[in-house]
Amino acid sequence: MRILVVGGGMGGTIFANHLARRIHHEMKTGKARITMLSASHEHVYQPGWLYVAMGRATPDELVREQQSLLEPGIEFHVDPVEEFHLAENHVKCKSGKVHEYDLIVISTGSRPLPEKIPGLKENSINCYTADDAVEFFKQLSDFKGGRIMITVGLPHKCPMIPLEITFAMHDFIKDRGLLDKTEFYYTYPIGRVHSLENVAKWAAPEFDRMGIKYETLFNMKEVDGKNAEVLSEEGGAVKYDLLVAVPPHKGQEVIEKNGLGENGWIPTNRSSLHMEGEHGKNVLVLGDTTNLPISKAGSTAHFEAETAAENVAAVIKMGRPVKSYDGKVFCFIEAGKDRATYAMFDYKTPPQPKAPTGAVHAFKMSYNKLYWATARGLL
């Protein structure tokens, strides 16, 4: 079986490594082959940008050579796919090379698009790329007081980042002795401070305790940079001195261009992770690329990838998949510089977050280093 993995992020890498470990014998004897195509030779641990924005990590700590993470036997090419020909079971890359397959796994991820909101890109900071996270740190370091507004676009990657960045900035400002000169103003698209009801029930009193103001049902419509003001779809207007954005996201352009999914999100079966539609039988979709109504987060990609790899291995060895994806997501929630909690949930079970502790924060900091074992399919 020729297995083609498109995308070298968390989903694609964890899938490929898990599968390679399970079908080692079949790969050795030529009965199965895994090829990965990526747009980059680097693999980035994206959750780490939060720490760069706070001056607690540097960008190079979060990057590894993709090839170095892959199991021996996985063929890797830095050659982004430009054309998907799903009816003919092949793709065409930027180089012009054509790759045929029996099974394709699409895990191309998502991208922040602050330019979707007029005025947002030029007037705000965010921590979704290396450059943006460094710029974030510079502007936060230079901040001398005033109102820091947090504004959230939809949809976005990493559902915990609005809370995490707010708590982290609070501690950063506090440590610099600027708390009495600073007002935090947090806004959120729905009628509570987080999408997860139980997380919102925990976070709102934390905001109250820290003196962080908040406004809900606030969806940014445009940013008036001249007057330093954010206008909302709901008719609101909030002034800022420093604007921190969680920009709206889209899937990758190549997905849209090939007609695989509106805004780059591919319609996906929530249990089998197959692409919906007539050509979806040998197409699996992982991570942010799906249109599933679950978190666009590394842990989602991780658990989906493990399920998909186990199923593909079972199909190769026994002719049938063995499990369904149950919607499992596990997200750490950094509640400042030295405390954290977590939210674990699936399609049927809501999360029950506990009070944040130093121990969970220590575990999160450890996991930031252990991630590379996860990418390798070991953890």
Partner 1 sequence: MSERVVDARGSFCPGPLMELISNMKMMQVGDTLELLSTDAGSAADVPEWIKKVGHEMVDTEQDGEGTWHIRVRKAK
Of 330, 347, 367, 372, the one binding partner 1 (CB under 8 A) is: 347
Give whole-number Cα distances, 296 to 100, 163, 287, in Å: 29, 16, 7
Within 230-259, the residues that bind partner 1 by CB under 8 A are 233-235, 248
Work out whether 186 is an interface residue with partner 1 (CB under 8 A).
Answer: no
Establish if 175 lies at the interface with partner 1 (CB under 8 A). no
With CB under 8 A as the contact rule, the residue among 130, 345, 356, 376 that binds partner 1 is 345
- Residue 155 interacting with partner 1 (CB under 8 A): yes
Q: Which of residues 294-323 bind partner 1 (CB under 8 A)?
A: 294-295
Instruction: Choose among 266, 252, 313, 270: nearest CA to 17.
Output: 313
- For position 190 contacting partner 1 by CB under 8 A, the verdict is yes
Question: In the set 58, 67, 129, 263, which binds partner 1 (CB under 8 A)?
Answer: 263
By C-beta, is 67 or 216 nearer to partner 1? Answer: 216
> Which of 72, 177, 191, 259 is the binder for partner 1 (CB under 8 A)?
191
Place of tokens 């996985």: 74
218 C-beta neighbours (distance < 10 Å), count: 22
Cα distance between residue 218 and residue 376, in whole Å? 40
Query: Is residue 270 near partner 1 by the rule CB under 8 A?
Result: yes
d(CA 146, CA 183): 6
Helix (H) or strand (E) holding 187, with range, is strand 182-187
- The SS3 assignment for 376 reads coil
Quick check: 287 binds partner 1 (CB under 8 A)?
Answer: no
Q: What's the rounded Cα separation, in Å, for the pair 375 and 368? A: 12
Q: How far is the CB of 348 from partner 1 (least distance, A)?
A: 6
Which segment (122-130, 202-210, 347-355, 363-371) binds partner 1 by CB under 8 A?
347-355
In the complex with partner 1, which residue's Cβ is closer, 258 or 299?
299
Instruction: Report the candidate in 326, 280, 333, 283 with the shortest Cα–Cα distance to residue 306.
Output: 326
Distance in angstroms (rounded) separating the CA atoms of residues 38 and 107 = 10
Task: Show the tokens assigned to 153.
Answer: 């676009």
Enumerate binding residues for partner 1 (CB under 8 A): 154-155, 159, 189-191, 195-197, 217, 219, 233-235, 248, 262-263, 270, 293-295, 327, 329, 343, 345, 347-348, 350-351
